[in-house]
Structure 1
Amino acid sequence: MEIIQIAGIALISTFLALIIKEQKPNFAFLLIVFVGCSIFLFLVDQINQIIVMIEKLAVNAHVNMVYLETILKIIGIAYIAEFTSHITKDAGQGAIAAKVELAGKILILAMAVPILTVMIETIINMIPGG
């Protein structure tokens, strides 16, 4: 199971970072960032398989691909913003982390507005006399 490998790497890296942090805090931080990025890269194939499966379902359900692409971009923005926020918090930059989270939320809202507009228009058209 991949999660066992990921958990093992994460725990070993955490212990190493704690040991290294006493002597070389910069190296400990770099180790944590490297391991975090490595875990993400380890999951890229899984992410790709999920996206392909969702695209196949959308095609079979005759969903407009523009909406699917927008939703996938929104999910990507959320994950990237969270990942970046955690790294900046680990570096002791809580203020920057908060700004990254805010930027992610605003970008998500901006991308969601067209979908929300279509949904509201659809609902209004379903109302008799609307």
Structure 2
Amino acid sequence: MEIIQVVGLGLVTTFLILVIKEQKPVFAFLLATFVGIIIFISLVGKISEVIGVLENLAHQAHVNNLFLETILKIIGIAYIAEFGAQVTRDAGQGAIASKIELAGKILIMVMAIPIITVIIETIMQILPS
């Protein structure tokens, strides 16, 4: 049911933006950004439920909390970078959007280094010397 509300809000906003864009392009952009933020905020509850389930599963599997936190940060970086790039692209700034995406990818790579290190060390212990 929630997806119907999100899609409905998106379609109504799109219609309004198409009508307003010719007269007030800045207002149309602000409306699109505002509705995007509203949709994101409406999903925060679902995101926290998913995080709770993942934390529970990690606890049951005896996974180090540091790894789970790192993975959740990586996912957060990906979503935030994607949202920022989309908003920037909507404003007609594709070059800046590409730089936001690049920054997100680099930050994800930096955040993943400890996990990659542990995986490589584990593989090295398993392989015969």
What band does the TM-score fall into relative to the shorter chain?
over 0.9
The 2-side partners of 1:52 and 1:83 are apart by: 23
With normalisation by structure 1, the TM-score equals 0.98
The 1-side partners of 2:22 and 2:93 are apart by: 19
Q: Secondary structure at the match of 1:23?
A: coil
- 2:126 maps to which residue? 126
- 2:76 maps to which residue? 76
- 2:100 maps to which residue? 100
- 1:47 maps to which residue? 47
- 2:112 maps to which residue? 112
- 1:32 maps to which residue? 32
Displacement of 1:128: 1.8
Structure 1 alignment gaps of length 5 or more: none
Q: Secondary structure at the match of 1:119?
A: helix
The 2-side partners of 1:105 and 1:92 are apart by: 21
Percent identity between the aligned chains?
64
Question: Residue type matched to 2:127 in 1?
Answer: I
Question: Residue type matched to 2:89 in 1?
Answer: K
The 2-side partners of 1:29 and 1:68 are apart by: 36
User: Which runs of 4 or more aligned residues in structure 1 lie more than 3 Å from their structure 2 counterparts after TM superposition?
Assistant: none
Q: CA offsets per residue over residues 10-68 of structure 1, 9 Å max, x none?
A: 00000000000011111100100000000000000000000011000000110000000
The 1-side partners of 2:86 and 2:127 are apart by: 45
Q: CA offsets per residue over residues 72-124 of structure 1, 9 Å max, x none?
A: 00000000000000000000111110110000000000000110011000001
With normalisation by structure 2, the TM-score equals 0.99
Task: Supply the RMSD in Å over aligned alpha carbons.
Answer: 0.5
Question: Residue type matched to 2:32 in 1?
Answer: I
The 2-side partners of 1:108 and 1:29 are apart by: 29
Q: How many residues align?
A: 129
Question: Residue type matched to 1:52 in 2?
Answer: G
1:65 paired to 2:65: yes
Q: Secondary structure at the match of 1:128?
A: coil
Structure 2 alignment gaps of length 5 or more: none
Question: Residue type matched to 2:80 in 1?
Answer: I
